Amino acid sequence: MSLDVACVICDAPISLPADTVEDELLECPECGSELVVASLTPPLLEEAPQTEEDWGE
């Protein structure tokens, strides 16, 4: 069984596979945005935080 959610950027429908876990990173098939699974009950996606270079610090 899969869970259906919408992309938070472009509102495209996304089906989460049954083995999806919280904090998993996904890519929207429509707009290519990187998303993170914030919750499974209810199914909720959020935009993944942008990683910043530490420039050797």
**Residue 17 belongs to domain spanning:** 3-47
Q: Is residue 53 part of a domain?
A: no
Q: Is residue 52 part of a domain?
A: no
Lowest mean pLDDT among 10-14, 30-34, 45-49, 53-57: 53-57
Q: Is residue 19 part of a domain?
A: yes
Query: Could you give the CA distance from residue 35 to residue 46 in angstroms, rounded to a whole number?
Result: 6
Q: Do 20 and 14 contact (CB within 8 A), yes or no?
A: no
Q: Is residue 55 part of a domain?
A: no
Report the number of distinct structural domains present in the chain: 1
Question: Beta strands 34-40 and 25-27: pairing type?
Answer: antiparallel
pLDDT of residue 50: 78
The CATH number of the domain where 34 resides is what? 2.20.28.160
Q: Is residue 56 part of a domain?
A: no
Residues 6+ apart with CB under 8 A from 4: 13, 14, 15, 16, 43
Q: Do 45 and 54 contact (CB within 8 A), yes or no?
A: no
Q: Is residue 57 part of a domain?
A: no
Q: Is residue 32 part of a domain?
A: yes
Q: Is the pLDDT of residue 54 over 90?
A: no
